[in-house]
Amino acid sequence: MRPRLLVLEDDDGIRTALRLSMEDEGYDVVDCADAESALASVRDAAPDLMLVDLMLGGMDGFSFIRAVRPLSAAPIIVVSARSDTHDIVAALEAGADDYVTKPFEVKELSARLRALRRRPPVAAPADVERTNATTGLVLDAGHGPLVLDEAAGVLRRGDDPVHLTVTEFRLLGELAGAAGRVLSRRVLLESVWDRGYFGDERIVDVHVRRLRTKIERDPGTPGLLVTVRGLGYRLDPQ
């Protein structure tokens, strides 16, 4: 089955070019000119991946990403002419997985999509409810134990699923696999974003901050996912 790709772009020419080039790359493309129709398409079509522009009429790309995250964990690549560091960080903080600036090469965009597709899937909420809450690696044994079950693609606090994006789940899995050891930003960038990806290391920091809001009891004073200044990050199961 061809993977389903949502393209959200309000420029008719760019949207058409993206649809045609991505169809040539083997995707079943659903293209939308505004965020409202894109949200409806996410509900109806359940895309596997998304390409999202930031500068849209009505609801902008940042708002769309924040609105779509409770509905879908599908990887999101922002494709935008805005190259300011603030915009890149804001998009990643909103829940995007990657950021490509215009103009871009179709081959590069296609390679990044393939890298995202190679990541293990995260279980949907209905699947989470059927999993055994006692299986997996206990990250925090405190009230409502935090359990990571990589085989099922699930993170739970007690009996409740914790919503993670694919990138956040992959990042947590890498850190959990090296629990107690420091992993540098470069190692995390290459293992989580795929080997051969040489993007900005700040993308790791942004996703670590987002992950902490979901797994730490007090994100402002992290005790589970700690920073080792000058070296990287370490996961210390509690």
SS3 (DSSP) at 76: strand
Domain that residue 76 falls in: 4-117
Amino acid (1-letter code) at residue 92 = L
Cα angle: 224, vertex 202, 68; to 5 degrees: 80
Flag the least confident range among 41-45, 55-59, 203-207, 208-212: 203-207
For residue range 46-94, list pLDDT tens digits in order: 999 999 999 998 899 999 999 999 899 889 999 998 888 788 888 888 8
First to last CA, the chain: 42
Q: What is the mean pLDDT of residues 151-176?
A: 87
- Same domain (yes/no): 19, 112: yes
**CATH number of the CATH domain containing 63:** 3.40.50.2300
Question: pLDDT-based confidence at 125, cuts 50/70/90?
Answer: very low
Task: Return the HEC string of 128-142.
Answer: HHHCCCCCCEEEECC
- Stated as kind and residue range, the H or E segment containing 24 is helix 12-24
Q: Is the pLDDT of residue 103 over 60?
A: yes
Q: Are residues 12 and 54 in the same domain?
A: yes
Question: Where residue 149 sits, what CATH number does that domain have?
Answer: 1.10.10.10
Domain end (from 68, 100, 117): 117
- Domains: count for the chain: 2
- Burial call 183-206: b when 16+ CB within 10 Å, e when fewer: bebeebbebbbbeeeeeeeebbbb
Question: In residues, how long is the chain?
Answer: 238
CA angle 55, 69, 81 (to 5 degrees): 20
Q: Is 226 helix (H, G, I), strand (E, B) or coil?
A: strand
Angle (nearest 5°) at CA 188 between 96 and 121: 55
Q: What is the pLDDT of residue 104?
A: 85
Show Cβ contacts of residue 84 under 8 Å, excluding neighbours closer than 6 positions. Answer: none
Position 10: which residue type?
D
Q: What is the pTM of this model?
A: 0.69
Q: Which of 101, 117, 133 is the last residue before a domain boundary?
A: 117
Q: Is the pLDDT of residue 126 over 70?
A: no
pLDDT computed for residue 67 by the predictor: 95
* Whether 193 and 175 share a structural domain: yes
**In this model, does residue 14 exceed pLDDT 80?**
yes
Report, as an integer, the average pLDDT of 106-130.
65
Please give the Cα distance from 175 to 158 (Å, whole number). Answer: 21
Domain boundary among 67, 101, 117: 117
